Amino acid sequence: MLSFDYIRENREAVKEGIAAKKSAIDIDELLALDESYRALLGEVEGLRAQRNVLSDAIASATADERAEKIKEAEGLKEKIQASEEGLKEAQEKRDVIARVLPNVPFADVPRGEDESGNVVVRTVGEKPEFSFTPKDSTELGALHDLIDTERAAKVSGTRFGYIKNEAAILEFALVRMAMDEAASEGFAPIVPPVLVGEEAMRGLGYLDKEPEQIYHLPEDNLYLVATAEHAIVPMLAGETLEEGDAPKRFVGFSSAFRREAGSYGRDTKGILRVHQFDKVEMVTFATPDKSDDEHQLMLAIEECLMQKLEIPYQVVRICTGDMGFVAANQYDIEAWIPSENTYRETHSTSNTTDFQSRRLGIRVKGNEGTQLAHILNGTAFAIGRTLIALLENHQNEDGSISIPAALQPYTGFERIG
């Protein structure tokens, strides 16, 4: 959530930034609602001050004066109640719009309407040159009994899969590799809950933008997380990190649940786009002056992991029209998928600045005093998509799959098949 002070002081920049993120919110109208709210707030505070003065007067009044002043106080009480109701309505009218206002992208973020405006920053690694027609991950999974979506459909419906045999070992090898790499940079391992309450999810901003993507259990009013970030970030709600504790870094493992509403007919084959998958996610709480450094660190960890897996990839700067609701700056990593002859997103990392911390009340002490924390998130591994890239890029002509050297200590085997 943006502060109204920031919006007032940067009116034109905010207008341009949210328009670039395809938001049609009228900033002038929003600020007019805020002006009305502030005027009513001043009125309420003035009436409350009068009540305090009158209370002191009643306490020191004579018996003859007291009855008249008590009557005056009762009338003032009715005025205050009416003004407070008007204030509450004005605040709700203002805030219902403010809650759907996206974070403002940095000035140097590429401007674009959709993913066609994304910019490839760099391409790393050599694409494998096969002397045979490469199989896709679904074929490889069936060949070695690694991935079973047919039986998963029988049990759970479409967009689910069983990860089996060596693939299951690969999953936990990837988790441990990611945990070790992040821990070497000061990220504390954590396994968070996968169900969170409405207050936490709303504080993150995700119920105000595309809530239909999130699984909700109405009887308990709990939400299934779409990433470990959803449970890790609100963990510090209402807290202030002491100077020296920031940046505070976590790397969390959890299952992730996404309804994939609106994706009917897209990527229905295999485990690329599923309702449930496992994920290792990094989260950092930083002082504002260090958040860009932390963002680059997350990106560097993501790249290091891809290089250890020997998977060709490209780093993409995400444009305004394709950027997430809470992000001010975003990079994706896209892995080379031989069967599709294209790159596919496997990682994302975002700097949300103070957009979430303002809602959640997370602060940090630093050189500039106590400020709202900047919150960053980044994928270490989204297991399903990483498995796809791993299997396809390291397949051999006989159908076997070689395991990258860096991953072998975690798997205990050098190849599948």
Residue 255 is classified by DSSP as: E
For residue 351, the model assigns a pLDDT of 98
Least confident of 133-142, 146-155, 254-263, 272-281: 254-263
| 323-339 confidence digits (pLDDT tens) | 999 999 999 999 999 99
Across residues 371-400, what is the average pLDDT?
97
List, by residue number, the catalytic residues. 258, 273, 345, 348, 385
Strand partners, 163: 147
Strand boundaries in 264-341, DSSP class E: 276-286, 313-317, 329-337
CATH architecture assignment, domain 115-416: 2-Layer Sandwich (3.30)
For residue 363, the model assigns a pLDDT of 98
| 128-175 confidence digits (pLDDT tens) | 999 999 999 999 999 999 999 999 999 999 999 999 999 999 999 999
d(CA 256, CA 230): 10
Question: What DSSP string runs through 81-118?
Answer: HHHHHHHHHHHHHHHHHHTTPPPPPPTTSPP-SSGGG-
Taking 3-state DSSP, the helix, strand and coil percentages for the chain, each rounded to the nearest 5, stand at 45, 20, 35
> What are the extents of the domains in the chain?
4-98, 115-416
pLDDT range class, residue 366, cuts 50, 70, 90: confident
| 61-105 confidence digits (pLDDT tens) | 877 788 788 888 888 888 999 999 999 999 999 999 999 999 999
**Nearest one of 164, 126, 189 to 380, comparing CA atoms:** 189
Whole-Å CA distances, 90 to 11, 85, 240, 263: 21, 9, 30, 38
What's the predicted TM-score (pTM) here?
A: 0.92
Structure tokens at 188: 């504390």
Q: Looking at domain 4-98, which of 1.20.140.10, 1.10.287.40, 1.10.10.10, 3.90.1010.10 is its CATH number? A: 1.10.287.40
Instruction: Report whether the peptide linkage leading into residue 247 is cis, meaning its omega lies within 30 degrees of zero.
Output: yes
